[in-house]
Structure 1
Amino acid sequence: MSQVATPELQQWIVEQARAGCKPEAVLAAMTQAGWQEDVAIAAMEAAMGEHVAGLQRTPAALTVTATRATTQREGAAQQPSSQAKPMPEPRLAGHPRQVDAGDRVVDVLVNLRSPRVVVFGNLLSAEECDELIAAATPHLKRSLTVETQTGGEALNDARTSDGMFFRRGENAIVSRIEARIARLLDWPLENGEGLQVLHYRPGAEYKPHYDYFNPDEPGTPSILKRGGQRVGTLVMYLNEPERGGGTTFPDVGLEVAPQRGNAVFFAYDKPHPSTKTLHGGAPVIAGDKWVATKWLREQEFK
């Protein structure tokens, strides 16, 4: 039988946090009481989401540190539990329908806690979408993937798109969109990689994968020198293919349809499958698909 977190349980979680209980202790108490671990973590995230909204990120924020306790048991590296890891996070306290991104009001269409996924509407104007496509088109080449075996880049049969990167702040439209993203996700502009534009023709896809860099691969340390781990991804849809081309999250059965001007954001607080951020670009069945992707790092990307 599936378990459902009740309002009473969520209130209890908040009370434990106010009393100074560590997230690991709260999680252990819940699992000992018979709660499934994934349900317990989701309940902790939901309960603390509004409680810590609007506050500075502190060690009391269970949203991040609760899942880090799970990571420790799974053998993944972690920071001390007394330090909550800062993460990109849109300001959604009070469940707003829209958020202020500085120069544009953006719609909130989907707000999922586990995995951390938010679908935004109206992030880009139609004119901005067209301008990005036009600026990128002359520079497109077969897309490469980061090669964690070597720390370089390589062709990958799982990724059959063409793409290019803009340098951060390369031109006026890129600068404008990067500033908007930084405001929307409450994350330093300098912690973002350069904006990538991708073009998928019919039949092209990007098979399910993770965006973080596998810490067990030999090339990862050299990749991390440029800004640490990736902690978030924003995929912006620049057009609408006739059929197919959605962004899929297989672990949770979610598919986000590509709609011009909309975007999907997802975050991952550790480089581990428990974040449920396995995702892919479904094959384009008819028409072309254009997207712009922004990856966010822990530190300044150089």
Structure 2
Amino acid sequence: MEKIMHISSDLRDWIVQTLRSGVNPESIVDAMIKKGFDATFSYRTILRIVGNQTIKTSTLSESPYIYEIPEIGRKGNEIQTNDRIIHVLSRINQPFILQFENLLSFDECDELIHLSKGRLLPSQIIDSKTGLVKSVSGRTSKGMYFKLGENHLIETIENRISELTNFPIENGEGLQVLNYQVGEEYKPHFDYFPPASISTHKGGQRIGTLLIYLNDVPSGGETVFPKAGVSIVPRKGTAVYFHYGNSKGQVDRMSLHTSIPVLEGEKWVATKWIRQGRIY
């Protein structure tokens, strides 16, 4: 049976109203697929609508997010660390996004992938209502975590990230490596924690994310910020940093992002989440 690849204006209006009522985008995509719509078409349709609509949610702050430039954004276009110069390729201030070149060498990327391959498990998320870790259909990658300072390579990378961001190593969660095969994705989401799952004695809220691309992806796999209209193509050794927490305890809903499906090849990425305080 041929999959549906178009929507009517009436269906689009229904989707907009359903999003505004608080239903999450993943549920709408799943409903479209069950009705016979092509999965990729459904995903891209919802992504476009989400990027142009205000979504009503129970956690939306009454006060607008106040943007503050983090330390990493005050270092210019060439950032010198102990062992290399990292170049800024692009910058957006609202939401705050920096794209970097030369964060990892190709050899470091290859070694991270090699060390991760035998430890991959299905990826999980933190439930926005319960705060519990669980598996979901919207995140179809596999991943693993390194402990802080687990080996020389990890220690070198952690020191470099700390110099780059001006956050202590102890404010960062263990480096996570993710692998996406063809068709795998991570649907639109926020990296910060829901209020119910914030542990002040374990570093508190997440406030920044550094994504490091470990390989070139022939097609697909972009990191997309739909509300900002930004799409980052994975290139080996490059990275993107986005900051979504301010000194007033607010979180930036413009930081909504997604990893769209890999269309050809595979995607390897390392993720470092940074919290308000020391975790350990």
Q: Common fold, TM-score beyond 0.5?
A: yes
**What does residue 125 of structure 2 align with?**
145
Residues 142-201 of structure 1: CA deviation (Å, up to 9, x unaligned) = 001123433331001110000000011111111100100000011111100000000000
Equivalent pair of 2:86/2:101 in contact (CA under 8 Å): yes
- Runs of 4+, deviation exceeding 6 Å: none
Q: Does 1:90 align with 2:68?
A: no
**Partner-residue secondary structure (3-state), 1:198:** strand
Amino acid corresponding to residue 185 of structure 1 in structure 2: T
**Partner-residue secondary structure (3-state), 1:138:** helix
**What is the distance in 2 between the residues matched to 1:148 and 1:120?**
30
Q: How many residues get paired? A: 219
Shift of 1:101: 2.1
**What does residue 75 of structure 1 align with?**
62
Please point out which of 72, 76, 80 is paired with 1:100: 80
Q: Which runs of 5+ in 2 are unaligned?
A: 1-59
Amino acid corresponding to residue 124 of structure 2 in structure 1: L
Equivalent pair of 1:115/1:266 in contact (CA under 8 Å): yes
Q: TM-score, normalised by structure 2?
A: 0.73
Shift of 1:89: 2.9
**What does residue 12 of structure 2 align with?**
none
**Partner-residue secondary structure (3-state), 1:183:** helix
Amino acid corresponding to residue 201 of structure 1 in structure 2: Q
**What does residue 15 of structure 1 align with?**
none
Shift of 1:92: 3.5
Percent identity among equivalent residues? 42
Equivalent pair of 1:126/1:260 in contact (CA under 8 Å): yes
Distance 1:193 1:76, change over 3 A: farther
Shift of 1:224: 4.4
Amino acid corresponding to residue 293 of structure 1 in structure 2: T
Residues 117-141 of structure 1: CA deviation (Å, up to 9, x unaligned) = 0000010000000000011111000
**What does residue 296 of structure 1 align with?**
274
Q: Does 1:255 align with 2:231?
A: yes
Q: Which runs of 5+ in 1 are unaligned?
A: 1-72
**What does residue 254 of structure 2 align with?**
276
The structure, 1 or 2, with the larger RCO (C-alpha pairs under 8 Å, 6+ apart) is 2
Q: Does 1:235 align with 2:187?
A: no
**What is the distance in 2 between the residues matched to 1:115 and 1:210?**
13
Equivalent pair of 2:177/2:268 in contact (CA under 8 Å): yes
**Partner-residue secondary structure (3-state), 2:202:** coil
**What is the distance in 2 between the residues matched to 1:104 and 1:250?**
32
Q: TM-score, normalised by structure 1?
A: 0.68
**What is the distance in 1 between the residues matched to 2:73 and 2:250?**
25
**What is the distance in 1 between the residues matched to 2:115 and 2:95?**
33
**What is the distance in 1 between the residues matched to 2:152 and 2:265?**
29
**What is the distance in 2 between the residues matched to 1:300 and 1:202?**
37
Where do residues 29-178 of structure 1 align in structure 2 (5 Å cutoff)?
Answer: 74-75=61-62, 88-90=70-72, 92-93=74-75, 96-178=76-158
